[in-house]
């Protein structure tokens, strides 16, 4: 499914008409150490993430095997698959933690993810939530969100940073969304597991990325929290693109319009949840009979 990009779909103006005489890679050149990239992510063809023929091997073991994956602008994609199918490796490749041995990875049309550092990738608009909730435990909830905020993240800027009223409003807005307003001054390390999950999601929201990668976001959440997360993600889709790795089929069913099944490092099946669930091979390797 490829969604055509339109301006009201994104928080940032995603569709940035590039003059034909401008050479490719302009937005990539504008990324420097400690600077954020401008809003000009080029998604002319409606795909925010393009992975083609990606392979990763660790000591001969092929974690990803000629994988092809396209994620459309504003799409909410779920990735499922048995353990060891390469789901986390896939996220590592997209965020620059692992380099593919071959293949192409494009963010938008012009950003080559295989050539960028983790920090550059994060700054250009890809946010990631880890499998184990990872927040800054010694800092308060407010400070966690403050650090994640989309802003100039260089050393100098951090030395002189002051929060503007607008930024404070944004933080309270996100606090409201993740239902942590009453814990705003609590140390993040003292939060419950589920609250930490929400705080990490909140940090992603503050970062305001165009593509969110979420690794098992509802692990350890109560049913009510899971339900709430599903609502939250559905409301985010459209404005942002989301890629969710999840084992909880109930959760997947409640949010996904499009599901990709990974098996042994490549795509086994793709389609709506019903289509995938009816697929013979998927039943064989993953869902069980």
Partner 1 sequence: MNQPLLVTATQKAGPKVTLAVGGVILALLIVLPLLSLLSPDNALHVSAYTLTLVGKILCYAIVALALDLVWGYAGLLSLGHGLFFALGGYAMGMYLMRQAAGDGLPAFMTFLSWSELPWYWTGTSSFLWAMCLVVLAPGLLALVFGFFAFRSRIKGVYFSIMTQALTFAGMLLFFRNETGFGGNNGFTNFRTILGFGITEPGTRAVLFLATVLLLVASLFIGWRLAQSKFGRVLTALRDAENRLMFCGYDPRGFKLFVWVLSAVLCGLAGALYVPQVGIINPSEMSPTNSIEAAVWVALGGRGTLIGPLLGAGVVNGMKSWFTVAFPEYWLFFLGALFIVVTLYLPKGVIGLLKKRGEQ
Least CB distance from residue 57 to partner 1, whole Å? 22
Asked if 1 touches partner 1 (CB under 8 A), the answer is no
Which of 146, 176, 187 lies closest to 163 in space, CA to CA?
A: 146
Asked if 164 touches partner 1 (CB under 8 A), the answer is no
Asked if 128 touches partner 1 (CB under 8 A), the answer is yes
Asked if 12 touches partner 1 (CB under 8 A), the answer is no
Least CB distance from residue 90 to partner 1, whole Å? 15
3-class DSSP string for 133-189: CCCCCCCEHHHHHHHHCCCCCCHHHHHHCCCCHHHHHHHHHHHHHCCCHHHCCCEHH
Size of the site for partner 1 (CB under 8 A): 34
Question: Of the listed pieces 61-69, 134-142, 175-183, 271-279, which binds partner 1 according to CB under 8 A?
Answer: 134-142
Asked if 11 touches partner 1 (CB under 8 A), the answer is no
Residue 50 near residue 93 (C-beta atoms within 8 A): no
Least CB distance from residue 39 to partner 1, whole Å? 15
DSSP the chain: --PPP-GGGSSS----PPPTTSPTTHHHHT--TT----S----TTSEEEEEEEEEEEETTEEEEEEEEEEEETT-EEEEE--TTSSHHHHHHHHHTSS--SEEEEEETTTEEGGGS-HHHHHHHTEEEE-SS----TTSBHHHHHHHHSSS--SHHHHHH----HHHHHHHHHHHHHTT-GGGTTSBGGGS-HHHHHHHHHHHHHHH--SEEEEESTTTT--HHHHHHHHHHHHHHBTTBEEEEE---HHHHHHH-SEEEEEETTEEEEEE-HHHHHH-HHHIIIII--
The CA distance from 176 to 5, in Å, is: 29
Binding to partner 1 (CB under 8 A) within 181-210 occurs at 187, 189, 203, 207
Asked if 159 touches partner 1 (CB under 8 A), the answer is yes
Asked if 161 touches partner 1 (CB under 8 A), the answer is yes
**CB closer to partner 1 out of 151 and 264:** 151
Least CB distance from residue 148 to partner 1, whole Å? 5
Among the listed residues 146, 216, 246, 270, the single contact to partner 1 using CB under 8 A: 146
User: Residue 67: beta bridge partners?
Assistant: 54
Task: Provide the mask over 19-58, with x wherever binding to partner 1 is found by CB under 8 A and - wherever it is not.
Answer: --------------xx-x----------------------
Asked if 16 touches partner 1 (CB under 8 A), the answer is no
**CB closer to partner 1 out of 115 and 154:** 154
**CB closer to partner 1 out of 162 and 289:** 162
Among the listed residues 154, 164, 172, 272, the single contact to partner 1 using CB under 8 A: 154
Least CB distance from residue 127 to partner 1, whole Å? 7
Least CB distance from residue 163 to partner 1, whole Å? 9
Asked if 224 touches partner 1 (CB under 8 A), the answer is no
Which residues of this protein are in contact with partner 1, per CB under 8 A? 33-34, 36, 95, 117-119, 122-123, 127-128, 130, 134-139, 143, 146-148, 150, 153-155, 158-161, 187, 189, 203, 207
């Amino acid at each position: 499914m490829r969604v055509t990009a339109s301006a009201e779909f994104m928080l940032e103006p995603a569709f940035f008409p590039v003059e034909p005489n401008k050479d490719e890679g302009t937005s990539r050149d504008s990324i420097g150490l400690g600077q954020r990239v401008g809003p000009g992510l080029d998604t002319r063809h409606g795909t925010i993430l393009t992975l083609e023929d990606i392979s990763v091997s660790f000591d001969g073991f092929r974690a990803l095997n000629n994988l092809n994956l396209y994620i459309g602008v504003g799409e909410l994609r779920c990735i499922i698959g048995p353990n060891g199918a390469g789901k986390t490796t896939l996220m590592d490749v997209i965020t620059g933690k692992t380099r593919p041995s071959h293949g192409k990875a494009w963010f938008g049309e012009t950003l080559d993810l295989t050539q960028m550092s983790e920090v550059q990738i994060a700054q250009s608009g890809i946010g990631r939530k880890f499998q184990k909730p990872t927040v800054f435990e010694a800092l308060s909830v407010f400070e966690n969100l403050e650090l994640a905020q989309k802003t100039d993240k260089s050393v100098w800027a951090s030395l002189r940073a002051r929060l503007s009223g607008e930024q404070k409003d944004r933080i309270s807005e996100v606090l409201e969304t993740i239902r942590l307003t009453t814990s705003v001054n609590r140390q993040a390390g003292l939060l419950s597991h589920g609250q930490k999950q929400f705080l990490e999601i909140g940090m992603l929201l503050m970062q305001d990325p165009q593509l969110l990668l979420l690794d098992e976001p509802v692990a350890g959440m109560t049913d009510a929290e899971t339900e709430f997360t599903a609502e939250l993600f559905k409301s985010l889709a459209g404005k942002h693109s989301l890629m969710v790795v999840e084992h909880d089929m109930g959760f997947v069913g409640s949010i996904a319009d499009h599901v990709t099944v990974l098996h042994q490092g490549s795509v086994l099946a793709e389609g709506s949840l019903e289509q995938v669930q009816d697929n013979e091979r998927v039943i064989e390797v993953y869902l069980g009979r």
